[in-house]
């Protein structure tokens, strides 16, 4: 029975590799810094609206550098060309001091009441 299970697992792995599973073995995308910014803004303080991955580039294909919890204080430096990714510096929480990218949809800016 064990030999049959082992053969089935091997066959599944071989089939996955033949059908494109090799992409899972590819090296992770290289880090992209603020040089990818095309929409610079004056640094402003904001917070994360939910738990979100801090990534080393402006896309989900980049490696996660850690999770930012809801209401993590951040400084937004700029946006990537599409405007959907922001290059930030983490100001609070377990990842304080790190820089990276988050999806701009998850940035919360407080209203200013004057």
CATH of residue 93's domain is 2.30.30.40
**For residue 66, what pLDDT is reported?**
96
Provide the number of structural domains found in the chain: 1
**For residue 114, what pLDDT is reported?**
60
Sequence-separated (6 or more) residues with CB below 8 Å from residue 88: 54, 74, 75, 76, 77, 99, 100, 101, 102, 107
Q: Is residue 7 part of a domain?
A: no
Tokens of 16: 């996955």
The answer, yes or no, to whether residue 20 has pLDDT greater than 80, is no
The model's pTM? 0.67
Q: Is residue 76 part of a domain?
A: yes
The answer, yes or no, to whether residue 107 has pLDDT greater than 60, is yes
Is the distance from CB of 56 to CB of 62 less than 8 angstroms?
yes
Closest CA to 109 of 67, 82, 71: 71
What are the pLDDT digits (tens) for 30-87? Answer: 677 667 777 777 788 999 999 999 999 999 999 999 999 999 999 999 998 878 999 9
Q: Is residue 72 part of a domain?
A: yes
**For residue 113, what pLDDT is reported?**
63
55 vs 29, residue with greater confidence: 55
Q: What range defines the domain where residue 81 resides?
A: 34-108
Confidence at 29, pLDDT banded by 50, 70, 90? low
């Amino acid at each position: 029975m064990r030999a049959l299970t082992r053969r089935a697992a091997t066959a599944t792995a071989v089939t996955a590799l033949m059908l494109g599973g090799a992409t899972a073995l590819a090296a992770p995308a290289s880090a992209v810094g603020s040089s990818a910014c095309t929409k610079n803004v004056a640094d402003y303080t904001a917070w994360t609206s939910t738990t979100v991955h801090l990534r080393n580039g402006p896309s989900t294909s980049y490696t996660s550098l850690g999770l930012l919890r809801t209401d993590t204080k951040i400084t937004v430096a700029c946006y990537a060309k599409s405007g959907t990714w922001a290059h930030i510096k983490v100001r609070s929480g377990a990842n304080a001091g790190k820089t990276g990218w988050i999806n701009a949809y998850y940035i919360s800016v407080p209203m200013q009441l004057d």
